[in-house]
Structure 1
């Protein structure tokens, strides 16, 4: 799991109404009576900056956040001592990707494992005779959370055998100390825009740079609800001995949102949406701000997670932060 820097979240959260909030109650599933997640009012950070699909890492030296490629950088990285800033101007944490990477480096996630920091990312594959432009998942390593990260091995960590695009990697710690890799299946062999049942999958990691065991499907997109056939950008937290999946869904519009599902005792389990297929939403567009998504969550304080995501403001996807509190038995 990511490093944790416990602080008092209520001391640093200004009340700014940028997204409509909904209380998320597991009790509606009939699974854990009286348990729920409650998000604080989000705060936009660095207005005017383009920082899509942010991943966040908490360390004893402050916070590091990483973005989908922007400003001519492969993985923009910035640092701050507080989640709300002031954040440094981004630098490229991954200046030299491996030769299999064509470009379009998306959805980075950084975790500390033993003495190294590992960067998990998705990228378009260069032509290799079988497919062109599909995304695969890679891994890189550094001794510093600021990078630079160096690719581990000449090939992707995971490439879908059916040549579907796989994006938005996320590493999750299990209850016994094991680790799992989550990702989104985003499109089919035809590339971006092709017809495919989009889903979120997971697999156990044998080491930070290798996988083992079968692949589990956590969630498959519903084309007849707010998801509109899209589920992506997974992040997962554990509370009360169970796992909860937060994910983005819907098209890029006022209906794009962040939803949530209950996954039981393992990151490999199929997950159940809260409370049904119609309204499993945590963050939604509001007051002209659209496309809240790309959420990443890390432990922040006892029973509190720091959530960072992006919201559409003009041509930019600006970062925001919120604090999500768990109330359970």
Structure 2
């Protein structure tokens, strides 16, 4: 029984006091460099972390170092003071630095080709991760003006030591869809081998014809391709991912983006240009976001965990549909206004409950955002975490089919956790939970 029907006997609140949940305690991403440092690439060489960014007043390839990923970070001299002979200055974007098997450091960068009049990919080498890097050859590494040019190079080395180059064709620059490409290269990182493979192509409405900044990693048996989408100049820019069980695909795009301005509750604006660093002590995602009235992009870091083989970022909301949880003396119903067309109703009895399994990258404090509708006055559920004591969640009257959110603090263990919402007073339906 639910809205519109009155229970013969109301379930009364327990005689003993039940505590309210803690205040919302989302841990937002941390700002590492609070000045312009867009499209950060991050690596650890030896005991030092190195970060490289798109050009600004600090040079063609600004670089910073730290002894800990959380800083403090110190800016260093320009890593690439002289571009390749093919390139003109001022548009040096999205560097990527890796170490080759021979010990040398390989830099990929994007710059403007004088001949093509488009952004193209170049390479440079150095004996130190700080450079100075010396450009390789007199021509771009990849440069196809017919596809709008090529940008956003990244390196990937598989478990057998085979090296690959990832990049984006700049199709959106000429009004065409954009694609992300995988190209095998020799151990030197600059000799192309065989034909390239298209991994992903733009096409979703939120992409606006743009997918870019590819970064590839593997966890378990799954390849995870991180990328940015949308126009970079504001809040619409975001980070998503696609997965495949084979290096060359096919790749399936995530249903929801990994990080957006909204999913981060505006703590970071336009999160994009992400890079991933994998370490035994814990993984992180490093990315940029707009600051100073959209005049500069700062560098941020957040903890990265893996729910099975799928990425979860601490501080960015992950949605869990209530109807996909474990239901007891309640059931799912269709709803044209609910997320994914269903909600949980009939949570009307003392033994009615929904249990949802959620994931936390690290142990600690999180926020559960609960989407509900209550149509006959204020209602309450009891929220318990991992079988612990319940705390009252209050749902102000909203009207049926008018989904609102209440936010409560929860303490979660690293990995999987269970959240149970049980009937406590009056009547409410559940749409989803979001954990940040």
The TM-score range, normalised by the shorter chain, is 0.7 to 0.9
Does residue 169 of the first structure (1) align with residue 169 of the second (2)?
Answer: no
> Gaps spanning 5+ residues in structure 1: where?
1-14, 18-39
- Structure 2 match to 1:240: 220
Distance 1:16 1:245 in 2: 30
CA contact (8 A) 2:39 2:274 kept: yes
Give the root-mean-square deviation of aligned CA atoms. 2.0
Please state whether the residue corresponding to 1:235 is helix, strand or coil: strand
- Structure 2 match to 1:35: none
- Structure 1 match to 2:133: 149
CA contact (8 A) 2:153 2:165 kept: yes
Relative to the length of structure 2, the TM-score reads 0.60
- Structure 2 match to 1:37: none
C-alpha deviation, 1:139, in angstroms: 0.7
Distance 1:16 1:159 in 2: 47
1:249-276 Cα deviation digits (max 9, x unpaired):
012332221001102221x32311123x
- Structure 2 match to 1:106: 93
Please state whether the residue corresponding to 2:121 is helix, strand or coil: strand
1:99-143 Cα deviation digits (max 9, x unpaired):
1011211000000112101001111101x3xx32x0111110111
Does residue 216 of the first structure (1) align with residue 197 of the second (2)?
Answer: yes
Does residue 96 of the first structure (1) align with residue 79 of the second (2)?
Answer: no
CA contact (8 A) 1:54 1:295 kept: yes
Distance 2:147 2:198 in 1: 17
Distance 2:25 2:300 in 1: 11
> Gaps spanning 5+ residues in structure 2: where?
1-23, 310-436
Deviation larger for 94-103 or 286-295: 286-295
CA contact (8 A) 1:262 1:273 kept: yes
Larger Rg: 2
Distance 2:134 2:258 in 1: 36
Change over 3 Å in CA distance of 1:156–1:284 after alignment to 2 = same
Does residue 181 of the first structure (1) align with residue 168 of the second (2)?
Answer: no
Please state whether the residue corresponding to 1:138 is helix, strand or coil: strand
CA contact (8 A) 1:175 1:241 kept: no
Q: 108, 111, 115: which is aligned to 1:120?
A: 108
Change over 3 Å in CA distance of 1:299–1:289 after alignment to 2 = closer
Relative to the length of structure 1, the TM-score reads 0.79
Does residue 42 of the first structure (1) align with residue 29 of the second (2)?
Answer: yes
- Structure 2 match to 1:308: 286
